[in-house]
Amino acid sequence: MKGWVRLNHPLVERLCRVRTGYWLPGTDYASRVAEAVEGKASSGDVIAVSEKAVSTAMNLTVDEAEIKPGVSARMLASLWMRLGWGYLLGPICRLKPQTFRRLRGYPKEEGARHKQLALERAGILQALKFGSEGGIDASNLPASHVSLPLPNPAHAARRIHEAVKSRLGVEAYVLIVDSDKTYSLGCLHLAPTPTSLKGFKTGGGIFYYVLGRLFKLKPRSTPKACYPPGRLTVEECLELAELAHQAMSRGKPKNVWEMVESFGVGLTEVTWLMLKKMVHHPIVVLKPRKPVF
């Protein structure tokens, strides 16, 4: 089948990443998913959807150019990020050398605004992270805009499930996926970024991130919600989320630095038009070896 990739995985037989246009604010994301998976998804499949794409479609964005940073935010940007992450935590957490070298030049003004938003929205333990603080994400957005995490990802998953069932007659499982990693050791799952699913330890912010990286715990993308609930285990959700994220992100910029470099512009010079010209795969259909339903 065109677009399908067979996997040597105990949980998933094959998957298909689904290409769509860029979801601008105001997009009916549930209808777009149902339209995009027609002819691809069948009952018993899992449909994974990017939280970032849904958040943008719901206009859950903030223009950081309008934020006035305080003293704490400026210290985080000019000292903590440049020195703490650039020279100490970056190497300790085994970040790529290119990444912690970039952090040594962390932008003071734009960075201070970003940290102010993180402090206000997510608190100090998230603001101390070097990126995606509390799920706040600047990649694949124009100018100084950032996206916020979904306040109710379970509701978004349910809307998509109902749209797919109504339009296609397909009873599929819907998973909302965040690229931020959860770090696992056996049945212990540390999620630096909050998730609505049970079975995860959340609230640790930077501590969970550093522990996970320092002790080489198993990293997998974080499932934010699933619908219907109770059909998949935590372990299955994590495996599916990671497979979906790998498919979604293949060939895409991994962070805001790579994004602006791909366009050849400054840090806050990306436009909506540029983003619309990019190839986007915010949906992945996964066919489990054993149907979910």
Q: Tell me, what's the pLDDT at 73?
A: 98
Q: Tell me, what's the pLDDT at 2?
A: 62
Percent of the chain having pLDDT more than 70? 98
Q: Tell me, what's the pLDDT at 54?
A: 98
pLDDT digits (tens, 9 = 90+) for 103-142: 999 999 999 999 999 999 999 999 999 989 999 998 889 9
pLDDT band with cut points at 50, 70 and 90 for residue 182: very high
The CATH homologous superfamily of the domain defined by 4-59+151-288: CofE-like (3.30.1330.100)
pLDDT digits (tens, 9 = 90+) for 10-29: 999 999 999 999 999 999 99
pLDDT digits (tens, 9 = 90+) for 207-239: 999 999 999 999 999 999 999 998 899 999 999
Q: Tell me, what's the pLDDT at 59?
A: 97
Reported pTM: 0.93
Question: Any idea where the domains of the chain sit in the sequence?
Answer: 4-59+151-288, 62-147
pLDDT band with cut points at 50, 70 and 90 for residue 252: confident
Q: Tell me, what's the pLDDT at 213?
A: 96
Computed over every residue of the chain, the mean pLDDT equals 94
Q: Tell me, what's the pLDDT at 293?
A: 60
For the residues 78-84, what does the mean pLDDT come to? 97
CB-based contacts of 208: which residues, under 8 Å, 6+ apart? 183, 190, 191, 192, 201
Yes or no: say if 202 and 152 are a contact pair by the CB < 8 Å rule. Answer: no
Does the structure show a pLDDT above 80 at 1?
no
Q: Tell me, what's the pLDDT at 251?
A: 73
Does the structure show a pLDDT above 90 at 184?
yes
Does the structure show a pLDDT above 80 at 3?
yes
pLDDT digits (tens, 9 = 90+) for 49-63: 999 999 999 999 999
